[in-house]
């Protein structure tokens, strides 16, 4: 089979690798550089703590493959528990967490409730005083997303895939062809569009509507201040404050934290790539409360996630020979090893995730953007 992939993010390069190692002739087109889009701006938080059975399966497979690849090239999977919690007075999210954890356990996830005393003993670097309910996922970790994408692109090349960076391309859905901006056109047996925030626009140009909406999110890194904080860093988990809607994780420079979701559709070619001043100030206040003293902000940036009407991705065949993989709601990178593999399997004739069938929508649905990590 001769296959084309549009998009050199984590899902695209994983698909290229999995197709090539199964004997397909693969060409991947990336308009910039590998991980030059949302993957390179992702948080690198990894866990399998999902309540829906299909999401739990995807999460488990993704974490397993991250571990398998760890140590190759510059890619490292850093084992780190993930704690999510709701604060006192937030009954809606308290009840949501209490309802979701048993469902995760039924799906085989290694998660458990933990009270404030248990959290203080295990993770003394964090202030847990206002926590009403919390759960800990053990099958979790963090990484540098770009290092994963670079590794899988190189592994795809080693299996014979051709990776064309700095190459903008359009698709001709009727002819199953890819046309580069210089006019060169090439036909394929199957085409996968995994272009992140540009997926909707690429398919629209080909006359195919899909219900995808890019939206902006923000993150920053900061160093810990003082020797005490540096020593405590070893006890820092990854965390998500469901009441406040922000997350944090250990980082090579100290700490990475994110939030700043804009629940409006963004133009994938015209959006603010720097973090807002308000986001930086609010995030530092939140982290000061939760983690105490820490050093100066080192970097602050924005990225794009993509929403769907039901918060589940579109993955599979849209029409004969044309496939899509998108709409990750901020959970794309953490599941990329499994989602890329599933996309490759779909192109080879299997249907590993029928729950994500993209034809479940007409493509013109009206829907509101909901931040992907929201606990409801």
What are the pLDDT digits (tens) for 277-286?
Answer: 999 999 999 9
Within a domain: 61: no
Q: Which residue has the higher pLDDT, 234 or 95?
A: 95
Q: How far apart are CA 235 and CA 217, in angstroms?
A: 27
Tell me the CATH number at 158: 3.50.50.60
Dihedral angle sign, alpha carbons of residues 291, 295, 299, 302: positive
Q: Which residue has the higher pLDDT, 267 or 372?
A: 267
Helix 332-347 crosses helix 145-158 at what angle (to 10 degrees)?
A: 20
Tell me the CATH number at 129: 3.30.9.10
**125 and 227 in a common domain:** yes
Q: Is the pLDDT of residue 260 over 80?
A: no
Mean pLDDT of the chain, nearest integer: 94
* pTM, 2 dp: 0.96
**200 and 169 in a common domain:** yes
Residue 318, phi then psi, degrees to nearest 5: -85, -45
Q: Give the pLDDT of residue 179.
A: 95
Within a domain: 63: no
Q: Which residue has the higher pLDDT, 374 or 131?
A: 131
Name the CA dihedral angle for 368, 371, 374, 376, rounded to a multiple of 10 degrees.
Answer: 10
- Tell me the three state secondary structure of residue 171: strand
**220 and 129 in a common domain:** yes
pLDDT band at 375; cut points 50, 70, 90: confident
Q: Give the pLDDT of residue 228.
A: 43
Q: Which of 86-90, 219-223, 250-254, 332-336 is the least confident region?
A: 250-254
Q: Give the pLDDT of residue 231.
A: 53
**135 and 158 in a common domain:** no
Mean pLDDT of 252-264: 89
**Last-in-domain residue among 289, 307, 325:** 307
- Helix ranges restricted to H, the chain: 10-20, 53-69, 91-106, 116-122, 145-158, 199-205, 226-232, 277-291, 332-347
With a CB cutoff of 8 Å and minimum separation 6, the contacts of 196 are 7, 9, 37, 38, 39, 214, 268, 304, 306, 326, 332
In this structure, are residues 218 and 258 in contact, taking their beta carbons and an 8 Å threshold? Answer: yes
Q: How far apart are CA 107 and CA 124, in angstroms?
A: 30
CA separation, residue 335 to residues 4, 142, 145, 325, 326 (Å): 21, 12, 11, 12, 12
**292 and 356 in a common domain:** no
The total of structural domains in the chain comes to 2
**128 and 33 in a common domain:** no
**288 and 224 in a common domain:** yes
Within a domain: 175: yes
- Residues of the domain holding 257: 81-139+214-307
Mean pLDDT of 111-120: 96
């Amino acid at each position: 089979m001769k296959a084309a992939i549009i998009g050199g993010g984590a899902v695209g390069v994983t698909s290229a690798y999995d197709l090539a190692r199964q004997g397909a002739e693969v060409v991947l087109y990336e308009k910039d550089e590998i991980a030059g889009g949302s993957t390179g701006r992702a948080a690198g938080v990894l866990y399998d703590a999902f309540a829906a059975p299909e999401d739990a399966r995807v999460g488990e497979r993704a974490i397993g493959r991250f571990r398998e690849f760890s140590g190759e090239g510059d890619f490292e999977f850093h084992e780190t528990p993930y704690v999510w919690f709701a604060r006192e007075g937030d009954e809606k999210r308290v009840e949501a967490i209490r309802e979701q954890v048993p469902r995760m356990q039924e799906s085989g996830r290694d998660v458990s409730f933990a009270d404030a005393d248990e959290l203080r003993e295990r993770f003394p670097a964090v202030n847990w005083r206002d926590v009403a309910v919390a759960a800990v996922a053990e099958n979790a970790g963090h990484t540098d997303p770009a290092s994963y994408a670079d590794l899988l692109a190189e592994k795809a090349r080693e299996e014979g895939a051709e990776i064309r960076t700095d190459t903008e391309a359009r698709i001709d859905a009727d002819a199953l062809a890819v046309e580069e901006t210089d006019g060169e056109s090439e036909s394929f047996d199957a085409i996968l569009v995994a272009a992140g925030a540009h997926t909707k626009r690429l398919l629209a140009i080909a006359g195919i509507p899909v219900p995808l909406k890019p939206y902006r999110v923000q993150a920053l890194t900061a160093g810990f201040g003082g020797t005490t904080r540096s020593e405590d860093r070893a006890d820092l988990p990854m965390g998500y404050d469901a009441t406040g809607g922000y997350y944090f994780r250990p980082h090579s420079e100290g700490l990475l934290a994110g939030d700043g979701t804009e629940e409006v559709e963004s133009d994938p070619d015209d959006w603010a790539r720097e973090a807002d001043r308000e986001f930086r100030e609010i995030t530092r206040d939140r982290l000061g409360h939760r983690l105490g003293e820490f050093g100066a902000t080192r970097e602050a940036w924005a990225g794009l996630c993509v929403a769907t009407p039901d918060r589940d991705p579109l993955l599979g065949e849209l029409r004969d020979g044309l496939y899509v993989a998108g709409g990750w709601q901020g959970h794309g990178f953490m599941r990329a090893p499994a989602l890329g593999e599933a996309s490759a399997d779909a192109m080879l004739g299997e249907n590993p995730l029928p729950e994500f069938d993209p034809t479940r929508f007409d493509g013109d649905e009206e829907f509101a953007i909901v931040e992907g990590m929201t606990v409801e």
